[in-house]
Amino acid sequence: MNRFVIADPDKCTGCYTCVAACVSVHETVGLVAHPRLTVMHTAKVTMPVQCRNCDDAPCEKVCPVTAITFQDHAVQINESLCIGCKMCSLACPFGAITPFGTLPEGAGHPVYGGLAEPIDHDPEPVHPILAWAAGQKAVAVKCDMCHFLPEGPACIRVCPTEALRLVDDAALNQSAADKRAKYSGMLAAVHAPGVASNR
């Protein structure tokens, strides 16, 4: 089955450390330096949202050039094959795929609104779809589970509050088993009033 990273909003403090780690590890291995998770702030919760690596992934279905494939229990995008058509971004039910510009070969990392000198860019950031210069192309960017790191996703490792976790077969089975135990405990209380449940 698929594997994915998910956040617990009760533990997430919105510190963006996962976002920074994501950019850093991908930049280091030569992939697009753009975060694969997005911190959402709603009226109730704050948490990063990222790809769920769906088993029957809509992005994989719509990709016209087979740049998106299911490998090692996760959906992977080949940045070299991607033609930047953005169909996957439209199809994704979680908003987990962002089109982002690659850098022309040899160009340095762009400084986004930073103070590094000299100022050679428009200080106003534009929409990600337009955030690249001539010679760049848009590629689909999404969580790749840091498949190139033996220790697994960087976001999980750096999160100061352990709000992120990997969901795989074992984790899902454990979670289901825990809930079944809780549920049966509740049933026991219903059927035998006055008798303490074994919770």
Give one DSSP letter per residue of 142-195, joined into a string.
---TTTT-TT--HHHHH-TT--EEEE-HHHHHHHHHHHHHHHHHHHHHHHSTTS
Q: Which residues of 115-154 are buried (b: 16+ CB within 10 A; e: fewer)?
A: eeeeeeeeeeeeeeeebbeeebebbbbbbbbbeeeeeebb
CA neighbor of 59 nearest in space, from 86, 33, 35, 37: 86
**Looking at 19, 75, 96, 97, which residue binds other proteins (CB under 8 A)?**
19
CB 139, CB 100: distance < 8 Å:
yes
Total of residues contacting other proteins (CB under 8 A): 38
**In the complex, what is the shortest distance from the CB of residue 192 to other proteins, in angstroms, rounded to a whole number?**
27
How far is C-alpha 159 from the geometric centre of its chain's CA atoms? Answer: 14
- Segment contacting other proteins (CB under 8 A): 77-85, 109-117, 144-152, 165-173? 109-117
**Looking at 81, 107, 119, 149, which residue binds other proteins (CB under 8 A)?**
119
Residue 23 touching other proteins (CB under 8 A): yes
**In the complex, what is the shortest distance from the CB of residue 65 to other proteins, in angstroms, rounded to a whole number?**
29
Task: Identify residues 29-48 at the interface with other proteins (CB under 8 A).
Answer: 33, 35, 41-46
**In the complex, what is the shortest distance from the CB of residue 46 to other proteins, in angstroms, rounded to a whole number?**
5
Q: Fill in the amino acid letter for 182.
A: K
Residue 171 touching other proteins (CB under 8 A): no
Calculated CA dihedral for residues 19, 21, 23, 26, nearest 10 degrees: -140
**In the complex, what is the shortest distance from the CB of residue 34 to other proteins, in angstroms, rounded to a whole number?**
9
Coil, strand, or helix at residue 25?
Answer: helix
**Looking at 93, 95, 104, 123, which residue binds other proteins (CB under 8 A)?**
123
Beta carbon nearer to other proteins, 24 or 175:
24
Assigned token pair, 39: 């911190």
**In the complex, what is the shortest distance from the CB of residue 13 to other proteins, in angstroms, rounded to a whole number?**
4
Q: Which residues bind other proteins (CB under 8 A)?
A: 10-17, 19-21, 23-24, 33, 35, 41-46, 109, 111-119, 123-125, 158-161
